[in-house]
Structure 1
């Protein structure tokens, strides 16, 4: 099942959207995809254009939703955010579908986040994207603010005072104990344990007594403590230094839904995996801060509990975690976050595979083309196996009877 990730001519796409009677947005389930969908949904609301947003958790699911939208007999437009199954017309761009005048726009590119592509599209529509949401989406995609084509966004956000750089850590809450204990962007000895996190911050009294009143010196002290604990852990690898560097000196959001830009990105990513409906509502600007934070906390707790209890194995180029025994019946296991934080802080190999009872996620430290590899992996796992992919990650779904060792061996053989 080959995939296509087509570059879209934003001028042509803008023209198509301006004449739409109804817009269907079908997005992949990650922080970048949710932010991109939210940006477009906000613009459509402003224009009073009716729309619908749905999340497709695999390439096949998303493709089916897109094809269902293009089969309608009206002037609707379907916007796809995420890779689709190849139809053999990858060079056609956002041109009209031949069936019944329906049209499809792809906002997926291999060289930059969908959020950034959507921001450019909004510019062609004569609108300004929400700077905090746009930068949160690109941050969720692994792009540092000010890098990878986001320079103009960061410059404008700083000029308009919607961001401000400060010492400390990139968590979504003003309470650093809550933020650090549940963060999936940091991995330290106290991660996942509120009491242990509180004990680690005992040298910063304000953090314990008045967490919303931290001074610049308090933030700096917390950042130093976190850095030492994260890179000083016995299991930390050299890459942990780079990862913790991205976690420190965050961009604070004076009037944002969360305390920092990195925290906003983390909440988007958590909700995308566990409760995408909440994440979409958040990205659209609805009042869902508290439900989103609760989802983020639950996600973080699952991530750290799973890491602590997983059985690990190491191969040439791959570090694997068997998390099948930690699966919850209430929430899906956030395997992507597990794989990503282990790759960032603890993995001696470039690629990390986290395996659950009927799904798995692969994360890599450096961007590399994964389409062909994940396609081959799904094929080798047999009928019914499906996948999705984004920047530096891919995910798999397979039959619950599939043996974990078989999944690991199949992935290892294709890397």
Structure 2
């Protein structure tokens, strides 16, 4: 029987006891930064108690159905009725994984590296770390400061390749550098200068010609970061994990497991992903319907859908099709997964829906407009 991610302390203890007895644990995270961070936290705890594990990232329904010889299967960051445990249903997977890891081996979660990794997952899920993760961050001297959440010391490089914001400089480091230099914010050395940088980023994103009013709220995700960790800021680390798992899952997993040698490869994947995403957003022809915008793109559909929803869409839902895959991104008042499941109930030749309330996707056979019409019908009835 699957156990939901909203576990009590007793639930975490029960999960830890079950995993400790396993001969082999299969960790099956969704392709998100939070799920990969949670996988890294739990894998390190399993390693500490000598329980072997295998990891496979779930990006398609076929991945979710992959056969395994494991005694226990743990789904992270996604609903899975077939898993023995599901961590991250209703809250960040990293929070649930941190609790289970602490029950497995408390010394692991006292590590600054593991606490930072868990916080990275929480921030990547769009939430604020709370105790005990927040307490562990404080002990590691990782605190919020003014500025921008980027993973690189080169601010222009970080902003240009951030997928936390879409602005005129996105995807173009030289344009980002020129924007920062124009406002004397290219090399912030103190909090006052970092505040100036944050203002430049926010105003540039919000004042863009194609920006929607929601951009003013969305841009906050890249501002006032937790400073520290292996990638300058926790938010930058989260951005790298989320991008890398969509481009090179093996690199993202190795990074979450603590293999520093893959850091440059992860940054390279992050840059590639960001450039593709921002180019796709910029080139997209967006069709607007009541409650929904639609775009066909040649790029990473999940990230594009999020950026369109947050920075260009005047509607609460953004549906992006990339070949035979469609991704629906929703604002908090809507449920992307439930909407897609309802919409596809009457459509033939569609795959299972994977995702959550924020973003969900499926493989589609046939014209995208058939799915668009079905989603519009569902939202009209809401």
Task: State whether TM-score is above 0.5.
Answer: yes
Q: Deviations over 1:227-267 (max 9, x none)?
A: 111112233222222122232111111xx220111111111
Q: Deviations over 1:339-392 (max 9, x none)?
A: 112212221011111111111211112154444332233444422523211341
Out of 73, 96, 116, the position equivalent to 1:132 is 116
Contact 1:186 1:247 in 2 (8 A): yes
* Aligned residue among 8, 14, 23 for 1:12: 14
Find the counterpart in structure 1 of residue 190 from structure 2: 215
Task: Work out whether 1:405 is the aligned partner of 2:369.
Answer: yes
Counterparts of 1:115 and 1:227, CA distance in 2: 28
State the alpha-carbon separation in 2 of the partners of residues 353 and 5 from structure 1: 31
Give the alignment partner of residue 132 of structure 2, picking from 152, 159, 163.
Answer: 152
Pick one of 291, 295, 313 that aligns with 1:347.
Answer: 313
Q: Name the counterpart of 1:40.
A: 42
The answer (yes or no) to whether the contact 1:59–1:83 under 8 Å persists in 2 is no
Closer/same/farther in 2, CA of residues 310 and 206 from structure 1, 3 Å limit: closer
SS of residue paired to 1:80: strand
Partner of 2:32: 30
Of the three residues 230, 241, 258, the one matched with 1:268 is 241
Q: How many residues align?
A: 368
Query: Which residue number in structure 2 is paired with residue 335 of structure 1?
Result: 301
| Structure 1 residue 403 displacement after superposition | 2.0
Q: State the alpha-carbon separation in 1 of the partners of residues 185 and 123 from structure 2.
A: 29
- DSSP-derived class of the 1:412 partner: helix
Structure 1's 84 and 251: CA in aligned 2 closer, same or farther, altered over 3 A? closer
Are 1:61 and 2:45 an aligned pair?
no
The CA deviation at 1:142 is 1.7
> Per-residue CA shift, 1:5-40, capped at 9, x if unaligned?
734522221111111222111111111111111111
Q: Which residue of 1 aligns with 2:146?
A: 167
**Alignment partner of 2:178 out of 190, 194, 199:** 199
Q: 1:295 aligns with which of 256, 263, 269?
A: 269
Deviations 1:152-196 (CA, angstroms, capped at 9, x unpaired): 3223312331x1222111111111111111111111122122222
Structure 2 unaligned residues grouped into runs of 5+: none
Answer whether contact 2:212 2:314 (CA < 8 A) is retained: yes
- Show the counterpart of 1:230: 205
Q: Does 1:185 align with 2:180?
A: no
After superposition, the Cα gap between the structure-2 partners of 1:297 and 1:380, relative to the gap in structure 1 and judged at 3 Å, is farther
Any conservation in 1 of the 2:350–2:362 contact (CA below 8 Å)? Answer: no
Q: In the alignment, is the contact (CA less than 8 A) between 2:293 and 2:315 conserved in 1?
A: yes
> Which residue number in structure 2 is paired with residue 373 of structure 1?
339
Q: Does residue 78 of structure 1 match 2:52? A: no
Q: 1:142 aligns with which of 117, 121, 126?
A: 126
Whether contact under 8 Å (2:46, 2:104) holds in the other structure is: no
The residue aligned with 1:314 is 288
Q: Deviations over 1:64-96 (max 9, x none)?
A: 23xx33xx4x8x322222445547xxxxxx8xx
CA displacement at 1:338 relative to structure 2: 0.9
- Answer yes or no: is the 8 Å Cα contact 2:338–2:357 preserved in 1: no
Q: Which of 345, 358, 381 is 2:324 aligned to?
A: 358
Structure 1 residues 84 and 201, CA, compared in 2 at 3 Å: closer, same or farther? closer
* RMSD of Structure 2 on Structure 1 (CA): 2.2
- Relative to the length of structure 1, the TM-score reads 0.82
- Cα distance change, pair 151–351 in 1 and its aligned pair in 2 (3 A): farther
CA distance in 1, matches of 2:220, 2:58: 33
TM-score (norm 2): 0.89
Partner of 2:215: 240
Q: 1:43 to 1:384 in 2, by over 3 A?
A: same
